Amino acid sequence: MTQPHQLMNYIAGQWTGSQGTEYIPVHNPATNEIMAHVPLSTTNDVDAAAQAAQKAFDGWRRTPATTRIQYLFKFKHLLEEHADEIARLTTQECGKTLAEARGELLRGIENVEVATGIPSLMQGYNLEDIASGIDEHMLRQPVGVVAAITPFNFPGMIPLWFLPYAIACGNCFILKPSEKVPLTMMRVFELIDQLGLPPGVVSMVNGGKETVDALLDHPLIRAISFVGSTPVARYIYGRAAANGKRAQCQGGAKNTVIVLPDADMEMTTRIITDSSFGCAGQRCLATSVAITVGEAKKEFRERMSEAALKRNVGYGLDPEVEMGAVITPESKQRIESLIQQGVSEGADLLVDGRDTSIKGYEHGYFVRPTLLDNLAPQSDLARTEIFGPVLSLGHVQDLDAAIEMLNASPYGNMACLFTSSGAAARKFRYEVRAGNIGINVGVAAPMAFFPFTGWKDSFFGDMHAQGRDAIEFYTEKKVVVERWPREWSRTF
Ligand code: NAD
């Protein structure tokens, strides 16, 4: 990287300096180097973006859907052409490995692909003769100006859960990316700038809480999408709703997997290692708790300990590295103190990843994989999202007891079962209170054409991101009842 520079906003099709004066540094978590300074944009910046979006809206909604999607085909092509360069930026600002960064961008591009189907997906339905000579039609129309507020852990993918569907449906869209990782979207918006979209259809305002509050309060903004931690999701849902906005808010997680004695133990431990320690555990679909049933305990514990100790931790740009840094020094400190809390609450520390230093990257924020055994289900830590490479193990005697432990979680983002029994799998998917379910799968991430269905404290709202839910969220339904008496046609 060259000298750290000050980042701009993208408003009305122009790169625009923030009207505020406050900037904060963006660090590379593996090296602690400052990569850029990001503005904490003000209410005036948000107002400028909202006004530009509103100005563009009438023309954009009248643009045929078949024309709107041509911009998305071009967008997909540009994202693919620049995928490696975007992924490198993600690794540098977010800490994950290059393979993980490439993978998340691919999952984002899948959403662009699905949104190109909008001419079919956005169709309504109708029925002739609901009464004699009267027809009824349901039409979908765009909502207007919409905004999304996104977290640090998937800088490339999560904004793309929203942007493509929003604009394909004829809305004008404003993004507020995480101030911890703004560079990935800066590069993506340089590509968006090449699309030739009408000014104001897509904007980006960088910033933190003040910027978010301005989006939540702005009268022109009709809908808010949010992904981040549960306390902030709850706050945003409440404030958006109080301002009469439609909101979909995805929160945090503490995902449990259950391992039955009939599971293929080699495959199970390989998959759970990846889902617990991939992205350094900073995934809302990371496995945080693994409960073994009966005889699964011994072999699972031994294999997981071995895998945790072997994981190659370092700078994500190094191709040998399997796990990168965590996002900030505060995050490292928080994870390490939660590990200590687990020990104080009676857990056995099977593998301790604290006090890690990586040769050549001594200033980076690294925590190695950690295993806590026998964490009491009623302990505070059992209910706390750690968001780091820490897996807690629990052991019970039957599937009922395991499901009861799983369902006690306040979160409901994901739950997985490892087994070769179809009956156990059916019982699990029927009884478990979580939205994304995996059977012999470690990260049950829905494809773009299915909704991302967190439950309980992992989601606030009705319509989820992705799939048909995205079309529901980004459109208003209008029902038209028409009477055309038959005798009128006889005059022609
Ligand atoms: P965060 O809640 O700290 O921040 C998310 C966004 O909200 C950022 O853009 C930030 O600027 C803004 N924000 C932060 N505090 C705010 C406040 N007080 N008022 C208004 N806005 C505020 O989350 P994070 O640390 O960036 O991301 C990690 C969290 O996101 C984890 O809890 C993780 O589980 C969750 N997450 C959930 C999903 C999901 O699909 N459910 C996906 C990814 C991440």
Question: What does the pLDDT look like over 297-309, one tens digit per residue?
Answer: 999 999 999 999 9
Long-range pairs, 276-279, Cβ under 8 A, ≥24: 276/369, 276/389, 276/391, 277/308, 277/311, 277/322, 277/323, 277/369, 277/389, 277/391, 278/100, 278/323, 278/443, 279/96, 279/100, 279/153, 279/324
Cα gap 428→437, rounded to integer Å: 9
ipTM of the complex: 0.99
Query: How much distance in Å is there from the Cα of 323 to the middle of ligand 1?
Result: 22
Which residue lies with its CA nearest to atom 20 of ligand 1? 209
Q: Is the CB of 460 under 6 A from ligand 1?
A: no
Q: Is the CB of 248 under 6 A from ligand 1?
A: no
Catalytic residues: 284
Tokens of 70: 């041509």
- Reduced to 3 states, what is the DSSP secondary structure of residue 306? helix
For residue 492, the model assigns a pLDDT of: 65
Query: How much distance in Å is there from the Cα of 367 to the middle of ligand 1?
Result: 21
Give the CATH superfamily of 255-439: Aldehyde Dehydrogenase; Chain A, domain 2 (3.40.309.10)
Domain ranges within the chain, ordered by starting residue: 9-251+458-479, 255-439
| Assigned CATH topology for domain 9-251+458-479 | Aldehyde Dehydrogenase; Chain A, domain 1 (3.40.605)
Cβ atoms of 220 and 51 within 8 Å: the answer is yes
Question: What does the pLDDT look like over 87-120, one tens digit per residue?
Answer: 999 999 999 999 999 999 999 999 999 999 999 9
Beta bridge partners of 439: 417
Cβ atoms of 260 and 268 within 8 Å: the answer is no
- β pairing state of 34-39 and 23-27: antiparallel
Which residue lies with its CA nearest to atom 26 of ligand 1? 151
pLDDT > 90 in the chain, percent: 97
Cα gap 330→365, rounded to integer Å: 9
- Return the DSSP state at 382: G
Name the residue among 110, 75, 286 with its Cα closest to residue 188. 75
Cβ atoms of 458 and 412 within 8 Å: the answer is yes
For residue 2, the model assigns a pLDDT of: 53
- Return the DSSP state at 198: P
Q: Work out which ligand 1 atom sits closest to the CA atom of 284.
A: 34
Q: What amino acid occupies position 147? A: A
Q: Work out which ligand 1 atom sits closest to the CA atom of 253.
A: 34
Cβ atoms of 258 and 399 within 8 Å: the answer is yes
Q: Is the CB of 227 under 6 A from ligand 1?
A: yes
Q: Is the CB of 153 under 6 A from ligand 1?
A: yes
Which residue lies with its CA nearest to atom 13 of ligand 1? 209
Tokens of 186: 């800066």
Query: How much distance in Å is there from the Cα of 242 to the middle of ligand 1?
Result: 20
Beta bridge partners of 438: 416
Query: How much distance in Å is there from the Cα of 62 to the middle of ligand 1?
Result: 34
Q: Is the CB of 232 under 6 A from ligand 1?
A: yes
For residue 1, the model assigns a pLDDT of: 43
Cβ atoms of 149 and 225 within 8 Å: the answer is yes
Residue 99: phi and psi, rounded to 5, are -65, -40
- Reduced to 3 states, what is the DSSP secondary structure of residue 120? helix
For residue 486, the model assigns a pLDDT of: 86
Q: Please enumerate in sequence order all residues whose Cβ is within 8 A of that of 23, keeping only pairs 6 or more positions apart, or say none.
A: 6, 37, 38, 39, 40
Count Cβ atoms within 10 A of the Cβ of residue 12 and give its class: 0-12 exposed, 13-18 middle, 19 or more buried: middle
Cβ atoms of 38 and 206 within 8 Å: the answer is yes
For 236-271, b/e burial (b = at least 16 CB within 10 A) is bbebbbeeebbbbbbbbbbbbbbbbbebebeebbeb
Q: Which segments within 54-144 are labelled E, that is strand?
A: 125-131, 134-142
Tokens of 114: 């699905």
Count Cβ atoms within 10 A of the Cβ of residue 344 and give its class: 0-12 exposed, 13-18 middle, 19 or more buried: exposed
Residues (pLDDT < 50) of the chain are 1
Beta bridge partners of 253: none
